[in-house]
Structure 1
Amino acid sequence: MIRSLLVVAEKETYQILHTRSLLLSALVFAVVFGGMSVPGAGTSGADRFETLLFTVVLMLGLFSGYLFSGQAFLREKQDGSIETLLSSPLTIQELWVGKVLGVTVPAYLIALISAGLMIGASLLVPLAGDGLGQFWSGELLVHLLVVVPCSIAAVVGLLGLSQLLLGMRENRVIGIVMVLLMVSLLSTARSLASVAGEITWMTEGAMLLAVLSMLLITVVLTRLLSRERIVMTLP
């Protein structure tokens, strides 16, 4: 079963990485909202920049996950190729897990690229405070290596579930709301960072617990999926 899941995940990752327009859109957001957000925050101090790093990297990862989930779930409903997948020996839940993994990997790579751009840009911008040493705190490493990918997987899983369960019209409405929400949050990331304050182990633990709970609930909700229900939502 694990090998079959990895095959599905590899297929989705390959298609995303070879869809130039989709990949370019995610990279543009990583550059515009990642690296270019640093100069404006340079005079705010290293503490505020660290919080900005936490906030923007997570949001860019989630936004990339949203962009890529449409490639993995909606596109196959639009062109009808999902019917071929539904006839495979894999269960619906296994297909869902494989697709979630396949979307999470490239979205997480975009998040890491944005983190690298922000840290690289900060080397060129004078920061008030103690400098870059604290950027490599344990909280930041746990955030980047654990919380961010788990958050992307949770959001992608929920989006994928809704994209499989709902019709195309409902998914268009969800898509518009998601785009407006993500762009608004990214545009106000600096303000959110200022409000968020210092990131602590308690904050990271609470975020991880919430994300894992969301992922677990979504896994349970996948029981609602069935071949018949998905076919009925095809255009």
Structure 2
Amino acid sequence: MPETVEIRRAADRALTATSWLTSRHSFSFGDHYDPDNTHHGLLLVNNEDIVEPAGGFDTHPHRDMEIVTWVLQGALAHQDSGGNRGVIYPGLAQRMSAGSGILHSEKNDSATEPVHFVQMWVIPDDTAISPSYQQHEIEDKLLTGAPATIASGIPGSNAAIGLHNRSAALHVSRLEPGDTIGLPSAPYLHLFVPRGRLTVEGLSAPEAEVSTGDAVRFTDTDGRQLAAKEQSEILIWEMHARLAG
């Protein structure tokens, strides 16, 4: 199958806005349903959230979902019915496996500063597994330049945290202007730019340039190159399967 590249611009995302939350959705989410935009590969949710000081999500349930949270700025306090507590901050990878069912809350840990994060969901290989939680701090030097694998279920991966999906991995990279990196080769790849500006090899202007809030969905990609035009941070989902249907 030939490679396809679909660019989704930041302004085209659905928006949920309340007094304490600004949430932008790369895929259908909550009240925002688009039958043509429900997932890419195995990735069901890619929400970019800003939670105001002292705000947050009250205790709510999840089931049969691998939920990965990556904080860009500020601190997010997590608490769940499994007895897990933690404060997530930039450079700390976190995964909650909802499995057979879990309750959790997520609150801004600051009374004065907003928290800005991206939350991503993929389904596990097996349903009704035991709920679990994992977090791991990653050294800044490992996040600079070549993509660091922060979460993966792919056998043989050297990841900071695990996923209960043998076909998915999340990579993160922080780039300085002029840096160039190669993307993984995979049947499905999702690139999200939470901040910065980059060019994608092989695309014509203006499509070649992606910036803050933009996403690129690749199928059957063979390691395209990215070049940073300014200081950037990117999230890359490598997926070797897709959701049925």
Q: Give the TM-score, by structure 2 length.
A: 0.23
More helix by share: 1
Which one has the bigger strand percentage? 2
Considering only CA atoms, is the larger Rg found in Structure 1 or Structure 2? 1
Task: Return the structure number with greater relative CO, CA threshold 8 A, min gap 6.
Answer: 1
